[in-house]
Amino acid sequence: MSVQMAEISITPPVLLAPLAGITDLPFRRLVSSFGAGLVVSEMVASQEVVQARPLARARAELGFGDSATAVQLAGREPYWMAEAAKYVESQGARVIDINMGCPAKKVTNGYSGSALMKDLDHALRLIEAVVGAVQVPVTLKTRLGWDDALLNAPTLARRAEGAGVRMVTIHGRTRCQFYKGQADWAAIRAVKEAVNVPLIANGDITDSSRAAEALRLSGADGVMIGRGAQGRPWVLAQVAHALYGAPAPVIPQGDALADMIVAHYEAMLSFYGAELGIKIARKHLGWYLEAAGLEPARAEVLTADDPALVIARLRSIFRQQERCAA
């Protein structure tokens, strides 16, 4: 099973969602190592990446040589969106995704992200600018609408398809819901029925059974997993195996799990530099310990500032867990 966009095949159609501050290059590469059809970068501010501001440039270490990576752009001005699209394409990006779903106030207050659902004419100007600027496939990620009174995702998706977008991903919530309540997978079906391009369902998909139910209710062509991968970078491969017969991932345990976590930790330190990397890595280490049922060990790991000490503690904790399980 695959989703086709021009010459690009997403096989299997299980995608990693863009999560700000989480799906950086080290994490995307780790998820890809287990198996994923496509991984999407953190949202990149279009004007900042063109003007090479330090934070945006750091996020622009986007793994252009990694074939299964999409670069997600956000912005409110057609000129900067087009320029950013041309830049990332010139660097080797094979897919460009447009963010019209981020609910964060700092994004929507700048009339970007999901705020664009309140002005579909302007949203289309941005889409047209990006599609017209590049040769690679352009995709769109958005939500059901701004709020329950403005559920206009089907209209946006249909117009986006007409402008040249090759795939649409829908998070099954409105902007005003943020991440509260449950994602409404059934409501995504109206978007699927409005377009002919592939449709990906997103929101609260954390395992194979929920992925299967999301597909059943939405009629989508694939699924996108975000928070469900925190502490479990193999979960996309598990879903792909259960739903599409992809190879089953080997889920590390004991010393092997410690090796994987340490390698991810060291990759973050290398990517960000030790001082910032230590801080950014803490959330990932916390998720790993939680997923492994080792929450009581969080304090001793997350309060350590010496990388060598963090690594030693991680290896000791997982070795002890393996002994207890034997």
- Catalytic residue positions? 102
d(CA 150, CA 147): 5
Q: Is the peptide bond before 12 cis (omega within 30 degrees of 0)?
A: yes
Flag whether 141 is marked binding.
yes
Q: What does DSSP assign to residue 273?
A: -
By the 8 A CB rule, do 87 and 73 touch? no
Least Cα distance to 234 among 37, 31, 69 occurs for 31
Least Cα distance to 26 among 292, 325, 276, 247 occurs for 276
168: enclosing H helix or E strand: strand 167-171
d(CA 156, CA 146): 12
Flag whether 284 is marked binding.
no
Longest CA–CA span in the chain (Å) reads: 62
Q: Which two tokens stand for residue 228?
A: 């469900």
Least Cα distance to 45 among 70, 77, 92, 89 occurs for 77
259: enclosing H helix or E strand: helix 254-272
Neighbouring CB atoms inside 10 A of 267's CB total: 18
By the 8 A CB rule, do 84 and 50 touch? yes
Flag whether 226 is marked binding.
yes
171: enclosing H helix or E strand: strand 167-171
Residue ranges of the binding site = 72, 141, 171, 226-227
Residue ranges of the binding site for FMN = 72, 141, 171, 226-227
